Amino acid sequence: MYIVIVGAGNIGTPLIEIATAGGNEVVVVEKDEKKAERAASMHDCLVLNDDATIKDTLVDAGIDRTDALISTTDQDATNIMVSLLGQELEVPNIVSVVHDADHMELFRRIGVHTMQNPQRLIAEYLYRAVKRPSIIDYMRIGDEAEVFEISVGSDAAIAGKTIQQAATEGLLPEDMLIVAVERDDSNKPVTPRGNTEVRAGDVLTVYSERGATPEVTDVFGHFEDHDTHPDDA
């Protein structure tokens, strides 16, 4: 892919690394001279020390043949302007960071794929890691539903039962699904079936419409505080 990345700061820098390591042709536009020089010295890509809110700069970056334009600056106004120019120049895939949640709808209205303030996402993740240490990883879907990874404790109610047995006994309600099973003796995740036995030590990927509440994680042998939830703060 040919990717134009605007911004070589805290968000743009790791993105540049990932994109170049993935074998993509990457062009970086960075207005700050020091950041531009650093990006040019660290990564195998073309770096333009220029203003991406100027159409000619994006033209110089090869925007006419780009597959994706990603704006990562710390200013929503700049990201909006870059996104609008990308639309005018008919870029097929435009993605932007959004720092102020109040601006999310504006970005969506102009048809830009968005990622909310990454600093807040990291903060929420860290807070959750403290409040719910049993959750290995998670992803929010909508307002409440979550997909999360969790290990099965030795005293878990579900340990030693098949998925069908767990469902019959009410341990797996209709609003919760086990979508993958990882275990030490398997080189790849196990696709769960009704007769798949859940074992202590398994790492499960679970979908729950209610989210990863303490009542949900109790089933897997993690008996945490039922009075608080990471999203209550």
pLDDT digits (tens, 9 = 90+) for 119-168: 766 677 677 666 666 677 777 787 788 898 999 998 999 999 999 999 99
Domains of the chain (ranges plus CATH)? Answer: 2-116 (3.40.50.720), 123-232 (3.30.70.1450)
Distances from the Cα of 200 to the Cα of 5, 136, 155, 157, 181, angstroms: 44, 15, 8, 10, 11
Amino acid at 17: E
**Cα–Cα separations (whole angstroms), residue 9 to 17, 137, 183, 184:** 12, 26, 39, 39
- pTM score, two decimals? 0.64
Instruction: Measure the CA angle with vertex 29, ends 23 and 34; round to 5°.
Output: 105
Model confidence pLDDT, tens digit, residues 70-120: 999 999 999 999 999 999 999 999 999 998 888 888 888 888 888 766 776
Query: Taking the CA of residue 182 as centre, how many other CA atoms within 13 Å lie in the half-sphere pointing to its CB?
Result: 10
14-72 confidence digits (pLDDT tens): 999 999 999 999 999 999 999 999 999 999 999 999 999 999 999 999 999 999 999 99
DSSP, residue by residue, 14-82 = HHHHHHHHTT-EEEEE-SSHHHHHHHHHHSSSEEE-S-TTSHHHHHHTTGGG-SEEEE--S-HHHHHHH
